[in-house]
Structure 1
């Protein structure tokens, strides 16, 4: 039986187009023409033997085969990129200090550290998990080298936007949420002030004429998730790091989106800091809801 040898450039165009929701944008991202991307997708489907994409309105959607291929393509590309990073940066050494929000610590930090450590085993990583304001203080005082934070309107000297995520109303299991919806004033589970998402939640409810009260105020994300899970109220976060037992609520007052920033302490970072930043940006492309 003839074995298929997938072209990694083709898989990269396929994955990028799916993640961006547009193969025209994918062409720009990977530096190819739209006709070249179309030719790559045609080649991919010829290799697979069945369609991996289907028309859905004005766009394209994955077929069942395409969904299977997408998962494998991501893994192949991740392994390829990790191998390339390891070869290029085999001699990297030193210490990199990273700070990030709790939203990303549980699911993103292990994958980032795993990829980075395998590629650069001689680099030591020191991680700080804390809230937005503290992260900015740490980056400005050069106590950390790189930070991942929400855009609070006060950017650091050397930062870049990695994407935009919609804020969401989040509640417990369906039956518990139904009970909360009939509770007046509406109970909220929020971070202690100051907090961007606390302000967004209360402002949205005020504009909708919805009476509310703070039922639980905590200083850690785990405490918020526990309070929501216990049915004390609903909260506002993004889908980043959302526990599987909680759910995004519909038919609630509209919320804004929030930008995700990566800060660096220095204009010209060390090779190790630059390498970690590249891995962070790559992992964040897979965040749910990212635009």
Structure 2
């Protein structure tokens, strides 16, 4: 009998091969790993051949698997094209992107506007996150790519895009005192863990400056709002600083620089590779990215 290949199983085969892991494919497609395993088993039954063999912790295509994969790409592409031509609803491919909140106002919209012109039928799911969480989510396959800050004093992964100094900021009023009535420096910071928070507290302790946490929050807009109301000082880069905030020079301890790095999966689909290139070009464009100091 002629095999009747399951379209969604073929789609899973493509995604799993492109991502280099069927566990990642399960996350990407919103399915359980057992469901993905059943799809692959069904494909092998339909093909009458073993399609994958064990390689380390993952699966690699056999010769028959490579042959079917070539046809699978064509079959799925034509299937989706036919469905769209008939007005059927086809779930668009999804790229999962992680970013620090610092880049939501300029880098993200500029890059996605360019990307949507090149790939109009691709859905981008954007997630704001902490640096440690973004790196973990790329490693685990929950994100395809991410921009993340990295400290200079620890192992760093991904591609270096820019080196950015950390700076002190406060309310934009020269007459506003930095310390409260007890002589303690009030701080407005992200809650733990945070590279900026760690650098601020370390530098103040080394300089023997008394400090207290005035406000902690996971929201960058919340940090800026607290500064505008005079609740304390904070540490960020110079990128994306809103009106009403001033940079503090020479009145508090110097801080180390951070690196901005791009983290991505080892096996990115072509659309995700396009987005990575566009993000990099946006970061390196001073007209859009606010003159980030590049490598």
1:57 alignment counterpart: none
Equivalent pair of 1:180/1:233 in contact (CA under 8 Å):
yes
Equivalent-residue separation in structure 1 for 2:246 and 2:282 (angstroms): 23
The yes-or-no answer on 1:248 pairing with 2:247 is yes
Deviations 1:247-280 (A, max 9, x none): 21111210110001101122x3221111111111
Q: CA deviation at 1:131?
A: 1.3
Structure 2 CA distance for aligned equivalents of residues 280 and 163 of structure 1: 12
Instruction: Give 1:107 shift.
Output: 2.2
Measure the CA separation in 1 of the matches of 2:281 and 2:162.
11
Corresponding position of 1:107? 106
Aligned pairs for 1:141-156 within 5 A: 141-152=140-151, 153=154, 155-156=156-157
Q: TM-score, normalised by structure 2?
A: 0.62
Q: Distance in 2 between matches of 1:289 and 1:139?
A: 24
In 2, the alpha carbon distance for the partners of 1:94 and 1:223 equals 33
Deviation at 1:181, TM superposition (A): 4.5
Residue matched to 2:282: 283
Q: Which of 178, 181, 200 pairs up with 1:180? A: 178
Shift of 1:154: 5.0
Report which of the two structures shows the higher radius of gyration computed on alpha carbons. 2
Q: Distance in 2 between matches of 1:100 and 1:248?
A: 24
- Report deviation, 1:137: 2.0
Q: Return 5+ residue gaps in structure 2 as ranges.
A: 1-91
**Which runs of 5 or more residues in structure 1 are unaligned?**
1-92
* CA RMSD between the two structures: 1.8
Name the structure 2 match of 1:63. none
Runs of 4+ in 1 over 3 A off after TM superposition: 152-156
Deviations 1:34-74 (A, max 9, x none): xxxxxxxxxxxxxxxxxxxxxxxxxxxxxxxxxxxxxxxxx
For 1:261 and 1:289, locate their aligned partners in 2 and report how far apart those are by CA, in whole Å: 13
C-alpha deviation, 1:112, in angstroms: 1.1
CA contact (8 A) 1:216 1:232 kept: yes
The answer on whether the counterparts of 2:99 and 2:147 sit within 8 Å (CA) in structure 1 is yes
Instruction: Note if contact 1:166-1:289 (Cα within 8 Å) is conserved in structure 2.
Output: no
* 1:43-54 aligned within 5 A: none
State the Cα distance separating 1:245 from its structure 2 match.
Answer: 2.0
Aligned to 2:258: 258
Residues 203-243 of structure 1 deviation map (CA, whole Å, 9 limit, x = unaligned): 11122221111111112111111111110000000012211
Structure 2 equivalent of residue 202 of structure 1: 201
Cα distance change on mapping 1:193 and 1:174 into 2, 3 Å: same
For residue 244 of structure 1, give the secondary structure of its aligned residue in structure 2: coil
Is 1:135 the counterpart of 2:134? The answer is yes
Match for residue 218 of structure 1? 217
Matched-pair contact (CA < 8 Å) for 1:108–1:283: yes
